[in-house]
Structure 1
Amino acid sequence: MDDLTIPADVLRDLILRMRNYMSREDLPTGGPGEDGPPDPDEIGPLSTDPDDPDQAELFDEIDGLDDEQQAELVALMWVGRGDFDAEDWAEAVALAGERHSGVTAEYLMSHPLVADYWAEGLERLFDGSDLLDTGRY
């Protein structure tokens, strides 16, 4: 697997902030002691509010990443939810890059479990990741 170009501290911050945002939305979140993300069929999409400063910050941070890093975020979500195996990381990143249309944050935030998928994707890519505890891959 190629290394992620997203700095570990940036990804950690995104996951934690997205989980915080999800908790405001009363969505279930994965966390310590839970066996992966909850069933996405049991929850609806995240609400969108252009006047919500927290949501605007998340959009800005995601859309402020370079194209490769945005593709990695999408690919990480896909690996985390099981669309790709960790061994297919390069293929997932390439496909995410091909499909990039400039609305990455909107796409990612349309998936209410995105933070849990990112965390699960890290677990799969690194065969156990302690990013959330240590800030390192």
Structure 2
Amino acid sequence: MLKAREFDVKDVVTEPNPGSNPSDDNMIEVLEDHGDDPVEMELASAIWALNEDEQIDLVALAWLGRGDGGIDEWDDLRAQAADAHNNRTAAYLLGLPLLPDYLEDALDQFGETSTDYEASRQ
């Protein structure tokens, strides 16, 4: 969740030719959405490392948090996510501008927090 938030704050590239020393441009490229962004690569790798059921759950959680259904419709949301599943899950999820907020809201509906969830994954 923290990496998703880190990725979500990225902005458009304003300094296409940064100085040779990061301090020359006030480290602004850290906040810009470059094609070779290590945060994006790390998130995509983490999503690809999930098994199919976990990827489906993650998409369904994003949809739940986005308001596409309520907690009482979880089984339907998950079934829809399973039907839509393909090999572009990482690209799809990283394309959702408010992904960390959606996931946080969904976990909240289950009575969990992102801290609880991340602790259970370790």
What amino acid is the match of 1:18? A
**What CA RMSD, in Å, does the superposition of the two structures yield over aligned residues?**
2.4
What are the within-5 Å matches in structure 2 for residues 76-95 of structure 1? 76-95=61-80
- Note if 1:106 corresponds to 2:106: no
Give 3-state SS (helix, strand or coil) of 2:96's partner. coil
Aligned length: 101
* TM-score normalised over the length of structure 2: 0.73
Deviation at 1:95, TM superposition (A): 1.0
Deviation at 1:25, TM superposition (A): 3.2
* TM-score normalised over the length of structure 1: 0.65
Q: 1:104 to 1:117 in 2, by over 3 A?
A: same
Give 3-state SS (helix, strand or coil) of 1:84's partner. coil
- Unaligned 5+ runs, structure 1: 1-14, 27-46
Partner of 1:124: 109
Structure number with greater CO (CA < 8 Å, separation at least 6) is 1
What amino acid is the match of 1:54? V
Deviation at 1:88, TM superposition (A): 1.1
* Structure ID, larger Rg: 2
